[in-house]
């Protein structure tokens, strides 16, 4: 065992303060200079992470404290990125479970804690944000203990030490009455309670690849914890592939250690440390690296299977290629298959139609993040509505079910319960909180698609939804998820205020004056459950007389703009979202109205 190293992961529900806590640990560990300007949430380095305020990719860093190296892995809190969490837990010996002192353990707290307990990891409970109004740290600690009992924690895991504090304000304490000084109590608890990494320094080098990084200078970097021996730059290693068991020979060109927010090159990697190795042409997560040519593959934890499937297709609309540079089937295919190299929780297959690819993932948010990343790289493509992946078990049709928790203001409970009933959701628990009500229900994954939008609309943005995969159960029959129809453009061209004033009497508009539209594009929502064709580009006929209709733009309601994630959940089975670097457009799969009617008559509207 290497006494100088500790490997820990930070796990928590979304927004309970993991990444902010890492900031303070880095600061006290002397990673930043005294006068250095550091952005908040320094670990969230992707643009999308900063914009959404969530962690998407698990990331490594390390802090030097009291002559010890503490390797820290910051993990996502969102269930859609569960694959990232599972990989991170393979590299560590203990976890900091961060819980908000006001909200207490939430849906994802349960999810990530269950994974940590299954791996047999030591737990340190961190009750964070004790400075919040109405915070009740002592009660939340009791609720964490109840959760540990519920998840069948061992006696040792149940006796987890607890620290209280505020990551934002930079203090932790072992007892609630202690002086609020700095992060030392947390550092001390980590060194006392988390064991040094179990590794065999005397054996031949072997390591399981838990993550893949990419550098423009050295190519693919395999990241993992060295389980035995040491590795030097220039040594020959063998990759035992997880997918087919093949052995490939390579030479290690660089060894990276984590230090603060960056990496630094070193001559050798030692047992127990988390390192990055380069020099491999082709390496994937789950592969084993060993210097012994006859070395065996290390076991790789199976990751929860995807539950949703969507299609990514080549853009065949009239405006194709005007905003994006990457529009061909080959470019789209190469990009999707490249994503598989670093993202183990999605899978991509070619479909039976040219230029259409099936992408399977854990949730709509995960796909929305992939699509958003691709549009920023200059891609144009179409995305379909998510469909659930069904199974046949013992001759019966089964589909995935999830547990959903919805926190809503008291006056909105009735409308949300009605919505759940429409979606075949079964209410299992209802709890009165100080300022709101928590509803817990079991619902099919199909019924969950678009629910978040409905909750936001019904509660004027005050409702909070969380969900977790539960099990596969019997097929629930037809589920009603969208109660509205659409307004479809009949003509192509530029929208005019004159036309839109008349169109808005039919429903809510998604386009503003001066936007390009085409036949078959969805320009608004109709409150009735049917599609209405409208002309959004009609111009006002000019005459010699000034009409009273001057200044018609004054009565125009601002258009509703849906985000990518909302758009994907909003569309119906016969619709697509057209994603380009600058625009998001909703459209019918079949653009021409006459062809749509033909397809409907022949029952092929899919």
Phi, psi of 155 (to 5 degrees): -60, -40
60 is in an annotated binding site: no
Residue 144 region by backbone torsions, left for phi larger than 0, else alpha for psi between -120 and 50, else beta: alpha
**Do 326 and 380 touch, CB atoms closer than 8 A?**
yes
* Residues 268, 275: Cα–Cα separation, whole Å: 10
DSSP 8-state symbol, 596? H
CA dihedral in degrees (386, 48, 455, 398; nearest 10)? 30
CA dihedral in degrees (105, 106, 109, 111; nearest 10)? 140
> Residues of 442-455 as b/e, b for ≥16 C-beta within 10 angstroms?
bbbbbbbbbbbbbb
- Write down the H helix ranges in 276-328: none
245 is in an annotated binding site: no
Distance of CA 539 to the CA centre of its chain: 44
Q: How far is CA 439 from CA 150, 416, 433, 463, in A?
A: 20, 9, 10, 11
Tokens representing 345? 């929780």
Query: Strand, coil or helix: what is 199?
Result: coil
**Do 340 and 347 touch, CB atoms closer than 8 A?**
yes
539: how many CB neighbours lie within 10 A of its CB? 10
Please name the residues in contact with 359: beta carbons below 8 A apart, sequence gap of 6 or more.
Answer: 309, 310, 311, 312, 336, 346, 347, 348, 367, 370
Strand-pair category, 381-384 with 308-314: antiparallel
* Nearest residue to 9 via CA among 108, 159, 122: 122
* Nearest residue to 10 via CA among 77, 102, 81: 77
Helix (H) or strand (E) holding 225: strand 219-228
Phi, psi of 338 (to 5 degrees): -70, -35
Q: How far is CA 423 from CA 362, 388, 411, 479, in A?
A: 20, 14, 21, 5
18 is in an annotated binding site: yes
Please name the residues in contact with 86: beta carbons below 8 A apart, sequence gap of 6 or more.
Answer: 115, 301, 303, 304
**Do 522 and 587 touch, CB atoms closer than 8 A?**
yes
Q: How many CA atoms lie within 13 A of 411 on its CB side?
A: 4
* Residues 107, 184: Cα–Cα separation, whole Å: 30
- The residue with tokens 């002397």 is 30
**Do 5 and 190 touch, CB atoms closer than 8 A?**
no
15 is in an annotated binding site: yes
- Write down the H helix ranges in 225-363: 329-342
Please name the residues in contact with 545: beta carbons below 8 A apart, sequence gap of 6 or more.
Answer: none
131 is in an annotated binding site: yes
* Residues 202, 270: Cα–Cα separation, whole Å: 11
130 is in an annotated binding site: yes
Please name the residues in contact with 204: beta carbons below 8 A apart, sequence gap of 6 or more.
Answer: 228, 229, 290, 291, 292, 295
**Do 501 and 589 touch, CB atoms closer than 8 A?**
no
Residues annotated in a binding site for GTP: 15-20, 128-131
Residues annotated in a binding site: 15-20, 128-131
């Amino acid at each position: 065992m290497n006494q100088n190293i500790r490997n820990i992961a930070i796990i928590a529900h979304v927004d309970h303060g993991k990444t902010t806590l890492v900031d303070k640990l880095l600061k006290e560990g002397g990673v930043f200079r005294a006068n250095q300007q550091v952005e908040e949430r320094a670990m969230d380095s992707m643009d999308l992470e900063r914009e959404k305020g969530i962690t998407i990719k698990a990331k490594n860093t390390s802090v030097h404290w009291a002559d010890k190296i503490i390797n820290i892995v910051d993990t996502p809190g969102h269930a859609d990125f569960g694959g990232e969490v599972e990989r991170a837990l393979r590299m560590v010996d203990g976890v900091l479970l961060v819980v908000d002192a006001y909200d207490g353990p939430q849906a994802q707290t349960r999810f990530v804690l269950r994974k940590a307990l299954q791996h047999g990891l030591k737990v340190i409970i961190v009750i964070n944000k004790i400075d919040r109004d109405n915070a009740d740290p002592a009660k939340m600690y009791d609720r964490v203990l109840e959760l540990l009992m519920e998840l069948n924690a061992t006696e040792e895991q149940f006796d987890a030490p607890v620290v209280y504090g505020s990551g934002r304000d930079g203090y932790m304490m072992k007892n609630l009455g202690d002086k609020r000084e700095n992060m030392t109590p947390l550092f001390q608890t980590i060194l006392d309670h988390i064991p040094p990494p179990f590794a065999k320094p005397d054996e031949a080098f072997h390591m399981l690849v838990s993550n893949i990084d990419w550098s423009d200078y050295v190519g693919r970097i395999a990241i993992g914890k060295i389980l035995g021996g040491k590795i030097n730059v220039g040594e020959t290693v063998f990759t035992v592939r997880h997918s087919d068991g093949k052995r490939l020979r390579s030479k290690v060109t660089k060894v990276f250690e984590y230090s603060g927010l960056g990496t630094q090159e070193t001559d050798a990697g030692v047992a127990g440390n988390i390192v990055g190795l380069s020099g491999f042409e082709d390496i994937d997560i789950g592969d084993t690296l060993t210097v012994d040519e006859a070395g065996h593959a290390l076991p790789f934890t199976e990751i929860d299977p995807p539950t949703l499937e969507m299609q990514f297709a080549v853009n065949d609309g009239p405006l194709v290629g005007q905003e994006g540079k990457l529009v061909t089937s080959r470019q789209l295919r190469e990009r999707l298959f490249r994503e598989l190299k670093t993202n183990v929780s999605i899978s991509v297959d070619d479909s039976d139609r040219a230029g259409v690819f099936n992408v399977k993932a854990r949730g709509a948010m995960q796909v929305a993040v992939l699509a958003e990343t691709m549009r920023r790289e200059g891609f144009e493509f179409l995305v379909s509505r998510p469909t659930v992946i069904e199974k046949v078990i013992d001759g019966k049709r089964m589909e995935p079910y999830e547990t959903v928790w919805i926190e809503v203001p008291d006056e909105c409970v009735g409308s949300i319960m009605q919505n759940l009933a429409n979606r075949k959701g079964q209410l299992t628990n209802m709890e009165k909180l100080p300022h709101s009500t928590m509803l817990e229900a079991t619902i099919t994954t199909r019924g969950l698609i678009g629910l978040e939008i409905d909750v936001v609309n019904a509660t004027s943005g005050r409702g909070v939804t969380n969900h977790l995969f539960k099990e596969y159960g019997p097929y629930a029959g037809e589920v009603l998820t969208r109660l509205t129809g659409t307004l479809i453009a009949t003509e192509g061209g530029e929208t005019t205020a004159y036309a839109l004033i008349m169109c808005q009497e039919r429903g809510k508009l998604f386009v503003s004056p001066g936007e390009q539209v085409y036949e078959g594009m969805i320009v608004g929502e109709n409150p009735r459950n049917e599609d209405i064709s409208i002309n959004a580009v009609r111009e006002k006929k000019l005459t010699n007389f000034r009409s009273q209709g001057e200044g018609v733009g004054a009565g125009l309601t601002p258009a509703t703009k849906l985000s990518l994630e909302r758009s994907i959940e909003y569309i119906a089975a016969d619709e697509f979202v057209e994603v380009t670097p600058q625009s998001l457009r909703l459209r019918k799969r079949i653009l021409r109205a006459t062809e749509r009617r033909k397809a409907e008559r022949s029952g092929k509207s899919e």
